[in-house]
A = this chain, B = another copy of it.
Amino acid sequence: MNEKALIVLYSSIKKFIRARAYSKLWNLTKKVHAADIAAIMDKLFPSERIELFHVIYNNDIEKAADVISELDPDIAAEIIIKSDFPPEKIVELFRHISSDDVVSILDELPEEIAEKIKELMSPKRTEEVEALLSYKEETAGHIMSTDFYALSEDTTVADAITAIQLAREKESGFYLYVVDKEGKLVGVVSLKQLILNPPSTRLKDIMNRDVISVTVDTDQEEVARQVSAYNLVAIPVVDHDGKLKGVITVDDIIDVIEEEAAEDLLKMAGLEEIDRITTPPIKSIRKRLPWLYVNLITAAVVSSVISLFKGTIQKYALVAAFMPITGLVGNAGVQAIAVMVRELALGEVSWETTRKALLKEILVALGNAVALGIIIAILGQVVTGKPIIGLILFLVLLGDMVIAAIAGTLIPILWKVAGLDPAFGPGTFLTMLTDGFGYFLLFGLTSILIGKLM
């Protein structure tokens, strides 16, 4: 369904929910792909989501399970909590959801609910889920699926095909993994190779021995990098003995990439966690305040710089009107940060690269400072009628731009060395520096130069 059709469907669903026309709602949604229902649920308000979910659950529990699998795990968890289902009903729902999706929802549920659900699951399911939960969040072991084809090296193509026929339901259907007697991953065979080779061929004779795999404790971002770099549709996950433990498919990798990208964008604005229109205000306040407290401290630092020049400001109040010039410099510094953050996201940055980056950013800063400074100097002179103010503004811009270039290059690196996330926070510290230094230059030069030349 394309975006326009989704919008039309969204309006109809809203209308039926508002009218409590539940049978109409079910007739409308029963033939819609679970992914489309999930996309619409994402845009609904929490109470509407729950109404829609109840309608689907009461008519077709498998469809409800599909929708839950397609939703963001935090939204899925919220629906489950707010639906007031007894744990038995949740377990019934989970029976139709793959273990890896169950794990991502359990991650988001309050511990006591999660524990109760785990107690009620079948022993086999509990074992599968506990195995995944035993790996740290955001690692390959935690997000992998344990649903895969693994056969021995001596299996023939014919037997491999029979094995696939017997296990029709398996999720990841593009590759067959080949393991030795100890369960160690030794090769991979694509379904296409099965088709292209005679039935009596043994897998060991056609398998690709150069399997790209990750270990259970590989970070999910590194898994995503490899799947993306090698154009894979699935990547096997092995333990430290090389034994095959699971498989991660490309659709889960896309979810990882999109999640990380969304987080990076919010972090640039000083939001550590996902905040939505539908998030209750009190929760949003709690998410946003910590960052604003940090901003309060940096603002206080800048304030104290300004307060040093009370006398100058009193004497030359006119110059205060040029304070916004530092905002311009701050934005130039943020551009440098954005470039460095991306560079760091693409991999390691060496000292040699840092040196080159620093040199480059200073050159860019000087170029931009001259281009902008001439205009500002002329404006300053025309508006105030004092050539000396034009000169002061030009020097402020030049000096502060260089500070912005240095800070914009080094702050993200220092952040990374210190183990902090380079997307989170550097901008505020940069603007503290550019504002503080900029005001210092502006009022400092004013008190020195105007005093002497006027």
**Residue ranges of A at the interface with B (Cβ–Cβ < 8 Å):** 2-3, 6-7, 10, 33, 35-36, 38-39, 42-43, 45, 70, 161, 164-165, 168, 173-174, 190-192, 194-196, 214, 218, 222, 225-233, 249-251, 253-255, 257-258, 261-262, 264-266, 268-271, 275-277, 279, 281-282, 284-285, 288-289, 291-293, 295-296, 298-300, 302-304, 306-307, 310-311, 313-314, 317-318, 320-325, 327-328, 331-332, 334-335, 337-343, 346-349, 353, 356-357, 360, 363-364, 367-368, 371-372, 375-376, 379, 383, 423, 428, 431, 435
Partner of A295, one of B2, B231, B327, B339: B327
Q: Is the CB of B164 within 8 A of A296?
A: no
Partner of A288, one of B266, B332, B341: B332
Q: Is the CB of B191 within 8 A of A334?
A: no
Copies in the complex: 2
**Residue ID in chain B nearest A264 by CB atoms:** B265
Rounded to whole angstroms, the CA-CA distance of A254 and B431 in the bound complex is 34
Shortest Cβ distance from residue A33 to the other chain B in the assembled complex, whole angstroms: 7
Shortest Cβ distance from residue A57 to the other chain B in the assembled complex, whole angstroms: 21
Q: Give the interface centre of A318, A325, A364, A379 by most chain B CB atoms within 10 Å.
A: A364
Shortest Cβ distance from residue A372 to the other chain B in the assembled complex, whole angstroms: 6
In the bound complex, residues from chain B placing their C-beta under 8 Å from that of A173 are 190, 192
In the bound complex, residues from chain B placing their C-beta under 8 Å from that of A265 are 261, 264-265, 268, 338, 341-342, 423
Rounded to whole angstroms, the CA-CA distance of A350 and B442 in the bound complex is 46
**Residue ID in chain B nearest A268 by CB atoms:** B268
In the bound complex, residues from chain B placing their C-beta under 8 Å from that of A435 are 324, 327
Partner of A327, one of B222, B302, B307: B302
Shortest Cβ distance from residue A428 to the other chain B in the assembled complex, whole angstroms: 7
Shortest Cβ distance from residue A285 to the other chain B in the assembled complex, whole angstroms: 4
Asked whether A324 and B299 contact (CB < 8 A) given A360-B281, A363-B281, the answer is yes
Rounded to whole angstroms, the CA-CA distance of A431 and B10 in the bound complex is 34
**Residue ID in chain B nearest A367 by CB atoms:** B285
Rounded to whole angstroms, the CA-CA distance of A341 and B274 in the bound complex is 12
Tell me the dominant secondary structure on chain A's binding face: helix
Q: Is the CB of A295 within 8 A of B254?
A: no
Q: Give the interface centre of A161, A233, A383 by most chain B CB atoms within 10 Å.
A: A233
Q: Is the CB of B334 within 8 A of A270?
A: yes
Q: Is the CB of A268 within 8 A of B168?
A: no
In the bound complex, residues from chain B placing their C-beta under 8 Å from that of A348 are 3, 7, 10, 43
Partner of A313, one of B258, B317, B322: B317
Q: Is the CB of B328 within 8 A of A303?
A: no
In the bound complex, residues from chain B placing their C-beta under 8 Å from that of A45 are 356
In the bound complex, residues from chain B placing their C-beta under 8 Å from that of A6 are 347
Can you list 30 A-B contacts (CB < 8 A)? Answer: A2-B222, A3-B347, A7-B348, A35-B230, A36-B229, A43-B346, A164-B195, A165-B196, A174-B191, A227-B254, A250-B254, A257-B258, A262-B342, A265-B265, A269-B334, A277-B339, A277-B353, A277-B357, A277-B360, A279-B360, A285-B371, A288-B335, A289-B372, A291-B331, A296-B372, A299-B325, A307-B383, A310-B318, A313-B313, A317-B317
Rounded to whole angstroms, the CA-CA distance of A348 and B341 in the bound complex is 30
Rounded to whole angstroms, the CA-CA distance of A307 and B348 in the bound complex is 47
**Residue ID in chain B nearest A428 by CB atoms:** B331
Shortest Cβ distance from residue A262 to the other chain B in the assembled complex, whole angstroms: 6
In the bound complex, residues from chain B placing their C-beta under 8 Å from that of A191 are 174, 191-192, 195
Q: Is the CB of A375 within 8 A of B314?
A: no
In the bound complex, residues from chain B placing their C-beta under 8 Å from that of A281 are 360, 363-364, 367
In the bound complex, residues from chain B placing their C-beta under 8 Å from that of A10 are 348
Asked whether A324 and B343 contact (CB < 8 A) given A265-B338, A284-B360, A364-B281, the answer is no
Partner of A338, one of B257, B266, B302, B313: B266
**Residue ID in chain B nearest A269 by CB atoms:** B338
Rounded to whole angstroms, the CA-CA distance of A323 and B300 in the bound complex is 10
Partner of A164, one of B196, B261, B279, B332: B196
Rounded to whole angstroms, the CA-CA distance of A343 and B271 in the bound complex is 14
Rounded to whole angstroms, the CA-CA distance of A261 and B43 in the bound complex is 21
Shortest Cβ distance from residue A32 to the other chain B in the assembled complex, whole angstroms: 12
